[in-house]
Amino acid sequence: MRYPQTFIDDLRRQTDIVRVIQDYVQLKKKGANWMACCPFHKEKTPSFSVSPTKEIFYCFGCHKGGSVFNFVMEIERVSFPEAIRIVADKVGMPLPKLVDDSRFESKRREADDVIQLNTWAMQWWEQQLESSAEARIAREYLVSREISSETQKTFRLGYAPDSWEALSVYLRQKGATQAQIDKSGLVVKKEEGNSYDRFRGRLMFPVMDVQGRPIAFGGRTLKNEDAKYINSPETAAYIKGRNLFGLNLTRDEIRRQQFAILVEGFLDLIVPYQSGVRNVAASLGTALTPEQTKLLSRFARKVVVNYDGDRAGVQAAKKSIEILLAEDLEVKVLVLPENFDPDEFIRKFGVSEYQQRRAKALPYIQFVIDHALRDRSLHRPAEKAEAVEEVLPYIRAVRDHVQKREYFDMAMDALHVTDLTLQRELWRTLRSNVPDPVGAGKRAVRRSGLKQTFAETRLLHLLIDNETLRKEFLPRLEPAIYQELATSSIFEALAELERNGVKVDFDSLREALQNDEVALELLPMLVMGGFGNGADNGGELSVSAERGLDEHADPRVAAERDLAALNFLWIERRIQQLVSEIKTADNDGDDALRDRLVLEQLNLHQRRKALMPSPDAPVSTN
């Protein structure tokens, strides 16, 4: 579908290319031409020139050039027909019919109708906000949010009176038909066929398309109604998830700064905008859609996601990250302290504090890793596996191979995955295009982390097999001792069954461990015993010397040895952890904490010494 060529030629002749480009770029006359710093590449001395006589522009720096239509296509990132529409609009030339089908035309007319009605509604609501007595509550709300009257006008805010029909009456006065009103989304249709005004007693936020036309509205309650915001339904002019709030005002700044800050709500955009942060766009409540991402990517390839810090906000941020990555955008995440949203934060701490934090926004992968680590301990294999599982999809989504590898290495490092075989396996699952082959990464981590020691294996067998030993030893097993073992879930299940007075056997254990594949695999062996040469490696305390005695050893003596071995392992692990914790406390300058940790370390060294086997029992002979 296109405009007739005669029209295009006409339009080009009628258009003053200097005046059109002047809307976007500050041109200065220089001889026959006009010059400016190029809007398409970074430069300090002007190499962008416009020739009114030749009706073209050309940049000597980046070699972009062409007609006025090419310029508009490039700067607005629109198609050729859209560029023509924009230029015709600027010049004031009426558009001819597109040489094409009628269905598109009628759809287009319906959308134009909706926009016309929306425009009338917006203007009327603006007047109400300005001067009606009833709107005082709305004006007071704006004052309480420190929103100036200039900002109010920039965003065309309004007030919808608390009436079932005031707007409908007004629209009919302006000449709208009932059919147009019904299709506008400004009213709600009742079953009997009548309709009533959708927005009543609300502060109105118009949602504009990129060209600045009102396509929908959000209305904020000013009383304590359940629905804090209500929004326009979809209409011929408005499809949900296709637009970004504020972009009509902020896109030039986004292009200039070469990145966009993505926020959630109306005020999260309006308040930063008012304080001078103007490269912002709002996704409006819902998580970002692929269409919104495409729209945004016309103006910048880098995005800083700045959603609420609460749970819903974090979920929405993570969802948005995946979608931004799929569009191959570079993503950072800004998390404000104490769950502040941008609106509250700027009002409380000021814009320069906000900008400082924004400048330190983390690469999204760090945000994802931080969240995966929250409330989890990497010393527990099951939790470590969960953390890896949570992070992998965000690496898989990266399209650039080098970047993907870099983030993968970052994640492996942060999640303490040091085993190279495992790393290779995880990397393989990332490169397959099947989205997460059913927890493959998780299973790989658990398998590799799960090299159970001989001591824990034998002790578990003894505790399952021998009720007397179980009653004697379970109370002596502090959770800390087994929590970070490969078999921790089995120890937990045993303790749980014992606590509840349930008979311990294969069936009850299988029942208790039903969601733990790895434990279930081990269970038959643990119940059966006879694993003398299967389970390997007693850790620092070699058990190889006693393994030969295994079948004949007094079970109580064996259990004591195993418990001592596990104790020893736990102390070793804790000492290792303390080394890094002390280093961190030291770096943070937290002397009190460091001293406490050093003391704990000293105590553990002594306990370890006490557990050391006597010199005549050789230690670790492999």
Q: What are phi and psi of 228, to 5 degrees?
A: -65, -45
40 versus 80: smaller Cβ distance to Zn ion:
40
Footprint of Zn ion on 216-235 (CB under 5 A): none
Site for Zn ion (CB under 5 A): which residue of 24, 40, 229, 340?
Answer: 40
Region binding Zn ion by CB under 5 A among candidate stretches 38-46, 289-297, 415-423, 473-481? 38-46
SS (H, E, C) 502-562: CCCCHHHHHHHCCCCHHHHHHHHHHHHCCCCCCCCCCCCCCCHHHHCCHHHCCHHHHHHHH
- Counting contacts by CB under 5 A, is residue 38 touching Zn ion? yes
Closest approach of Zn ion to the CB of residue 60, in Å? 8
Q: How far is the CB of 108 from Zn ion (least distance, A)?
A: 35
The phi, psi pair for 17, rounded to 5°, reads -60, -35
Residue with smaller CB distance to Zn ion, 47 or 119: 47
Two tokens at 477?
Answer: 């097993």
> CA angle, 394 as apex, 390 and 397 as ends, to 5°?
140
Q: Shortest CA distance to 110 belongs to which of 165, 173, 184? A: 184
* By CB under 5 A, residue 62 contacts Zn ion: yes
Nearest to 458 by CA among 573, 569, 538, 539: 538
Between 59 and 494, CB nearer to Zn ion: 59
Q: Does 24 bind Zn ion (CB under 5 A)?
A: no
> Alpha-carbon torsion 365, 369, 370, 371, what sign?
positive
How many beta carbons lie within 10 A of that of residue 359, not counting itself? 9
The least distance separating Zn ion from the CB of residue 74, rounded to whole angstroms, comes to 10
What sign does the CA torsion over 133, 135, 141, 143 have?
negative
If the CB atoms of residues 21 and 38 are measured against Zn ion, the closer one turns out to be 38
The β-bridge relationship of strands 56-59 and 65-66 is antiparallel
Given the complex with Zn ion, which of 61 and 81 has the nearer CB atom?
A: 61
Q: N- to C-terminal Cα distance for the chain?
A: 79
Toward Zn ion, which CB reaches closer, 48 or 159? 48
- Binding span for Zn ion by CB under 5 A among 62-70, 77-85, 444-452, 582-590: 62-70
SS3 content of the chain, % helix, strand, coil (to 5): 55, 10, 35
Candidate segments 30-38, 398-406, 441-449, 561-569, binder of Zn ion by CB under 5 A: 30-38
Least Å from the CB of residue 174 to Zn ion = 46
- Options 35-43, 68-76, 165-173, 238-246: segment touching Zn ion (CB under 5 A): 35-43
Nearer to Zn ion, 57 or 570 (CB): 57
Q: How far apart are CA 284 and CA 266, in angstroms?
A: 7
Task: Indicate the residue among 51 and 601 with the shorter CB distance to Zn ion.
Answer: 51
| Count of residues interacting with Zn ion (CB under 5 A) | 6
Q: Which is nearer to Zn ion, 50 or 262 (CB)?
A: 50
Residues 564-583 that bind Zn ion (CB under 5 A): none
Site for Zn ion in 41-60 (CB under 5 A): 41, 59
- CA angle in degrees (0–180, nearest 5) for 56-59-65: 40
Residues with Cβ within 8 Å of residue 607, at least 6 apart in sequence: 567, 571
Query: Per rule CB under 5 A, is residue 529 in the interface with Zn ion?
Result: no
Q: By C-beta, is 39 or 539 nearer to Zn ion?
A: 39
Q: Residue 25 or 569: which CB sits closer to Zn ion?
A: 25
Interface with Zn ion, residue 61, by CB under 5 A: yes
Binding track, positions 274-293, relative to Zn ion; x by CB under 5 A: --------------------
Q: What is the DSSP string of 299-316?
A: T-SEEEE---SSHHHHHH
Q: Coil, helix or strand for 279?
A: coil
Stretch that binds Zn ion, among 39-47, 461-469, 586-594, 604-612 (CB under 5 A): 39-47
Closest distance of CB 21 from Zn ion, Å: 13
Question: Where does this chain touch Zn ion (CB under 5 A) — which range of 32-40, 214-222, 295-303, 548-556?
Answer: 32-40
CB of 43 to Zn ion, least distance (A): 7
Length of the chain counted residue by residue: 622
The residues binding Zn ion (CB under 5 A) are 38, 40-41, 59, 61-62
